[in-house]
Structure 1
Amino acid sequence: MPWSQPILRRLEALSLQSSHKIIVGVDYGTTFTGASYVTSKGRELSDIVLISSWPGPSKDTETVFKAPSRIAYSADNPRINKDCWGYQVEPGMIAYSWTKLLLDQGTPLTQYDDPALENASETGILKLPEGKDAVQVVTDYLTQVYRHILKTISKNITEEALRITPIEFWFTVPAIWSDKAQNATKIAAHRAGFAGSFLRRRDKIFLISEPEAAAITALKKYTTGIMGGSVKTGDGVLICDCGGGTVCGSTAIDRNFYRLMSKRFGAAFDKLPVKRKSAGSEFMKRFEIIKRDFGNSDGQSTFELPLNMTVQNADDRYFDEEERLVIISSDDLRVLFDPVIAQIIRLVKQQLQDARGQNGKEMINRIVLVGGFGDSEYLRKAFRSSFGSTGKIAITVPDNPQAAIVQGAALRGLEGLRSATKRCRRHYGFDWGIHFRQGIDSEDSAFYDAYTGSKMASGVMNWIIKKGDRYADNHAMSIPVAWEHHPSWSLRKTILFHASDQTVAPERQNNKDVYSVGNIVVDFSNVDLSRFNPRFVYGTPVYHLKFELKVIFGAQEGVLKFEAISQGRTIGQTSIDFTKDQYY
């Protein structure tokens, strides 16, 4: 029997008076997506509920902790009358996968990025449907995820209770992602309904980096339990996130596999319809099983994968034409795995070296592997061989490493667990004019300040926080800014915000290693200009609009925040318009 409106209003009032809420962790991954939830009354890791039922007939079992990050549109598939997602996408459907990677494809490559990522799009994996960009496709997929999360929670606490209880959604994002990509994630989540509904105005979205979420789970497990030995004060723990789309992830092996198939079969493979070889196809589902089990095989030397393909003069070592089976060997798998694992090992060695350099001694005594690829026995053996043979570093994998990140996201919201400080991943700042330095600054950059009459040089970077600097959550940096203003000019001022990933910060904005993050808008429309003591130049007043620009790093909302303070008061939380590129 439905509850009466008066009862619902009393319940809502009670909810408003209390701190009761639901915390939901969402791990939207390149290959799979997971979710967890817990009420604010929860206290332990065991109180966090992993969503273990996802819709669709293509899953192998009823209990699955993640759903494939793919979507198929009815417009592309005449056989279906509505869009399908996750396990609803069946072999033969035209679907879109790995879309998450397109959210950050404009970010400059690092030394650890896989150049084959761009080439993977030629196989039809990193494709977008006509008329949609990456944010729109991610929005469509997350809309389905949002509905399923609410439906699942409502089964446990009733729809009425869910309606009046605020929800915090903690989305995980890669640590190396640009500010633009993090903002794009929030935009897609809002559009999908997360904290974007008029009926759920008290819901909020926060972001947390994937390795930080994984670290929260791992440290919670190893400080409160005995499995794998306990972590003590002073221990150094390195979290290696081997999620699908990370530099340590298994999609790198997938890309190597596609490259091998293209090299071995040429046009016969390259020109196959995407639906036969993309994520979710029978071909790739079989490869996923082989990949996951590799390292456990007892002497198995060859593996078979079904693929409806016609190969002229097929080599029977690689293709069974009668049965339509691709044949790969253990040696083939080692060729696919070893370059990826070698890169992971190099990256971890660099991290160990950096930790040693910062502290003057060996700091790391435990490496924790999380993420889907962290469950690979072949990877674990390589880690034990490279790092665990001396007995000084323990190599551990938490139970269900795929769930570590989404559990950590919920724990972050539940307990407020967080790192005390973080290191900035890049330089941030803006360019401004400084007093001209004779013999240093180019005359091409020279100009005269109409207010002071001084000769100035433009385009010099003011880096307000530098790469490697430590900061805590909500760390704020304030910079005094003076802006020349004439009466005919707009009172809405735009500051170009820049970044650089180089170790040494470039001095000038026009350096090739400096790129734009976006535009900060500061609005002086409601500020008393007369208080800025104008000077008259040829009978026209010229103002120096002085203000403090505050940039807030590590805000739990997950994106850069700005405030402008003038005449002793905040004249507004300034907005940032993130730079657009072809992938948006």
Structure 2
Amino acid sequence: MADVPRIPNRHCFVVGIDVGTQWTRVCYGWSANVDYSEITTMRTWPTTGTETKTAEAVPTEMAYSQDQRGKISHLWGYLIPPGMPRYSCMKLLLDQTADDPDLRAAMATVRKQLPPGRSAWQIMVDFLRQIYAHILVVLNRDSPDRPYYRFRIKFWMAIPAEWSDQAQCRMWGAAKQAGFGSRTDDELMIVPESEAAVFGAVSDPDAQFYGAPVQLNENMLVCDCGGGTVDISAYRITNDDPWELSERSIGSRARYGTVNIDRRLHQLLFKRFGQAYVSLLRDRRSSSRMMRSFEWNKRRYRSRLKVKPLPAILRAPASPWYDPVKGEVILSAKEMEQLLLPVVVRIVGIISDQAARSKETGEPVDYVLLVGGWGASPYVRDQVRQACANLQIRIGSPADSAHVMARGAVVRGFGQATGMRERCPQHYGLMMSRPYRATTDSNRADLYPSPFLQQQMNTEIVPDSVIPIPFHCLLQSHERTVTIRLRSCSQEDAPKYYDPAVVQTVCDVVANLQDVDFSRLPRRTVKERIVYKVELMLEILLGQKHRALTFRVRLGNQLVGLASVQFQT
């Protein structure tokens, strides 16, 4: 819908989006009603036919169908019919810096399943475009007295705190491409999932906590056990009016793959049923009845309890593992624990490791907050609680741990909570060429040009922090744009030379120089062409409210303007 005049009003819709690896959740509220109980969870989703599906989340899945005329239709979530090839877990491929072996194995599997001609980023754009359109439909239906097209909308998207800057920029770019924040005065901001989880957990005065609630000035580990990954970050609550967080340590982050629990299940069933299981292609998808049942078991399983049978029609005889009359695959409690235990062991291991490291820094871990869909699993809770008891660490988990991120994103949008990044997580810089120095430079030709890394990581960051990176370029008079490829490195010491193993590309920053008076710049002749030396300053803006990297370019004291960003998809 084209932009229409807005009603003058300082209030707006606030929408929180949690795009998970396997499930997506959306919550929303009106900024005049900042009470936590006024936040609405989106529970209706389109499905085949004219009906709607009532569910707390929608599968993060896309499918593409083509008719006889070659027209391609985009199907998503519950609109995908059984048996149609679908594409999920594309979120995993947005961050290429993961070093966990299980996570990288899952990423390799997802990469092989991508449709021809489409990248994971493009599939994410297609999915988010459907989510954006559905949000507008729901706002229009549920708020007839406040039509969305007459008011501003602030979108707050929760993304993993452990993601690289490149992945964060790609996700933000995908959302912008999908339409979020595209209307006049609409905004798109991002908030780390772990921060949103804390805001959602502490802002609900009626929240039922498993274990102990979090308290002020505690050093906490936020353990987000999602459908695809387990993300762990460290924070301290420094204020409760409004709620304010400070990040404790860059080194406290960790990511582990949980999608491999499903992969282990497939391996187990293939070992038992062979080709009979291979033929069951549609039930190998996460939205199938069998995988939904397995997801139900993962979230509700408790040690030594009976596992709910998995519905699956197999061409297999009766056995201790399969009931052909009921069409059910049978798993024992021991087998279920063997599937879950490796990831739980890793969760407990990282908590124990962080507890030991935090004591050395004089900031011991006081509390572990379990969130995420899988964080509500009694089995996970029991195992982590036992480990925390041995470490003398308190543990808690909100009753509605699955929606806590989306609701917390709305709380952040209400202005009732703020997050603060205390340290720069990366070295940032550009690729620069300079004369060879025989006394200090390596004689390896593959090390040039060298990255010119300016900002040292772990330096303090305050709101509106700026990282200045000077550079120059030679341009002809008709060349009025400059593309700057921003690089980053997360190692403690920045490399002196370019090393693709440790230096990653964040994004391309495009600066518009239309208003620059080239006649005032130094010039020279190069290969019979007049070129101008343009000395610029790229400024990386950190500590912004939307948490995404933004940029501006200066020519001396003149602000050339905000630079646009291009993403490598």
TM-score by length of 1: 0.81
List structure 1 segments (4+ residues) > 6 angstroms apart after TM superposition.
222-227, 535-542
Alpha carbons of 1:350 and 1:471: their partners in 2 closer, same or farther (altered >3 Å)? farther
- Cα separation, 1, equivalents of 2:57 and 2:303: 23
The answer (yes or no) to whether the contact 2:132–2:179 under 8 Å persists in 1 is yes
Deviates more, 1:314-323 or 1:472-481: 314-323
Find the counterpart in structure 1 of residue 233 from structure 2.
none
Find the counterpart in structure 2 of residue 506 from structure 1.
495
2:38 to 23, 39, 47: 47
Structure 2 residue 273 is matched with structure 1 residue 265: yes
Alpha carbons of 1:416 and 1:361: their partners in 2 closer, same or farther (altered >3 Å)? closer
Q: 1:443, CA displacement in angstroms?
A: 5.3
Alpha carbons of 1:468 and 1:131: their partners in 2 closer, same or farther (altered >3 Å)? same
The answer (yes or no) to whether the contact 1:482–1:546 under 8 Å persists in 2 is yes
2:118 to 121, 132, 141: 132
Structure 2 residue 161 is matched with structure 1 residue 170: no
Q: 1:514, CA displacement in angstroms?
A: 1.7
Alpha carbons of 1:492 and 1:426: their partners in 2 closer, same or farther (altered >3 Å)? same
Aligned partner letter, 2:267: R
Find the counterpart in structure 1 of residue 237 from structure 2.
none
Structure 2 residue 555 is matched with structure 1 residue 552: no
Find the counterpart in structure 2 of residue 305 from structure 1.
310
The answer (yes or no) to whether the contact 1:23–1:414 under 8 Å persists in 2 is yes
Name the SS of the counterpart of 1:463 in structure 2: strand
What do the CA deviations read for 1:306-343 (whole angstroms, capped 9, x no partner)? 322335xx682333456543222111111111111111
2:332 to 329, 337, 351: 329
Find the counterpart in structure 2 of residue 318 from structure 1.
321
Alpha carbons of 1:317 and 1:226: their partners in 2 closer, same or farther (altered >3 Å)? closer
What do the CA deviations read for 1:249-292 (whole angstroms, capped 9, x no partner)? 643321221232233334443x3253122111121122122222
Find the counterpart in structure 1 of residue 421 from structure 2.
421
- Cα separation, 2, equivalents of 1:83 and 1:486: 43
What do the CA deviations read for 1:493-522 (whole angstroms, capped 9, x no partner)? 343321223333221114532232233334
Alpha carbons of 1:149 and 1:490: their partners in 2 closer, same or farther (altered >3 Å)? closer
- Cα separation, 2, equivalents of 1:232 and 1:292: 27
Find the counterpart in structure 2 of residue 430 from structure 1.
430
Find the counterpart in structure 1 of residue 249 from structure 2.
none
The aligned runs of 1:480-491 (5 Å cut-off) are 480-483=470-473, 485=474, 490=479
Q: Percent identity between the aligned chains?
A: 29
Q: 1:233, CA displacement in angstroms?
A: 3.5
Alpha carbons of 1:487 and 1:246: their partners in 2 closer, same or farther (altered >3 Å)? same
Name the SS of the counterpart of 1:114 in structure 2: helix
The answer (yes or no) to whether the contact 2:212–2:394 under 8 Å persists in 1 is no
Aligned partner letter, 1:207: I
Structure 2 residue 368 is matched with structure 1 residue 382: no
Name the SS of the counterpart of 1:116 in structure 2: helix
- Cα separation, 1, equivalents of 2:200 and 2:529: 63
Find the counterpart in structure 2 of residue 193 from structure 1.
179
Q: 1:157, CA displacement in angstroms?
A: 2.3
Structure 2 residue 47 is matched with structure 1 residue 64: no
The aligned runs of 1:75-94 (5 Å cut-off) are 75=66, 84-94=75-85
Q: 1:305, CA displacement in angstroms?
A: 2.0
- Cα separation, 2, equivalents of 1:309 and 1:224: 43
The answer (yes or no) to whether the contact 2:212–2:396 under 8 Å persists in 1 is no
Alpha carbons of 1:286 and 1:478: their partners in 2 closer, same or farther (altered >3 Å)? same
The aligned runs of 1:333-344 (5 Å cut-off) are 333-344=336-347
Aligned partner letter, 2:37: S
Name the SS of the counterpart of 2:344 in structure 1: helix
Alpha carbons of 1:40 and 1:304: their partners in 2 closer, same or farther (altered >3 Å)? closer
Structure 2 residue 183 is matched with structure 1 residue 209: no
- Cα separation, 1, equivalents of 2:208 and 2:399: 12
Aligned partner letter, 1:462: F
Structure 2: stretches of 5+ with no match in the other structure? 231-255
- Cα separation, 1, equivalents of 2:358 and 2:471: 37
Find the counterpart in structure 1 of residue 296 from structure 2.
289
Name the SS of the counterpart of 1:402 in structure 2: coil
2:449 to 459, 464, 467: 459
Q: 1:165, CA displacement in angstroms?
A: 0.7
The answer (yes or no) to whether the contact 1:99–1:127 under 8 Å persists in 2 is no
The answer (yes or no) to whether the contact 2:303–2:333 under 8 Å persists in 1 is no
- Cα separation, 2, equivalents of 1:228 and 1:381: 11
TM-score by length of 2: 0.83
- Cα separation, 2, equivalents of 1:477 and 1:67: 39
Alpha carbons of 1:442 and 1:100: their partners in 2 closer, same or farther (altered >3 Å)? closer
Q: 1:402, CA displacement in angstroms?
A: 0.4
- Cα separation, 1, equivalents of 2:475 and 2:74: 55
The aligned runs of 1:275-286 (5 Å cut-off) are 275-286=282-293
Alpha carbons of 1:36 and 1:322: their partners in 2 closer, same or farther (altered >3 Å)? closer
The answer (yes or no) to whether the contact 1:173–1:208 under 8 Å persists in 2 is yes
Q: 1:570, CA displacement in angstroms?
A: 1.0
- The two structures, once aligned, show a CA RMSD in angstroms of 3.6
Deviates more, 1:231-240 or 1:132-141: 132-141
The answer (yes or no) to whether the contact 2:224–2:370 under 8 Å persists in 1 is yes
Structure 1: stretches of 5+ with no match in the other structure? 1-7, 447-456
What do the CA deviations read for 1:101-126 (whole angstroms, capped 9, x no partner)? 2333xx1332475243145449xxx7
Name the SS of the counterpart of 2:98 in structure 1: coil
Aligned partner letter, 1:527: V
Structure 2 residue 366 is matched with structure 1 residue 365: yes
Find the counterpart in structure 2 of residue 452 from structure 1.
none
The answer (yes or no) to whether the contact 1:240–1:369 under 8 Å persists in 2 is yes
Q: How many equivalent residue pairs?
A: 538
Q: 1:423, CA displacement in angstroms?
A: 3.6
Greater radius of gyration (CA): 1
Of Structure 1 and Structure 2, the greater strand share is in 2
Find the counterpart in structure 1 of residue 236 from structure 2.
none
Aligned partner letter, 2:163: W
The answer (yes or no) to whether the contact 1:565–1:571 under 8 Å persists in 2 is yes
The answer (yes or no) to whether the contact 1:25–1:171 under 8 Å persists in 2 is yes
Structure 2 residue 243 is matched with structure 1 residue 254: no
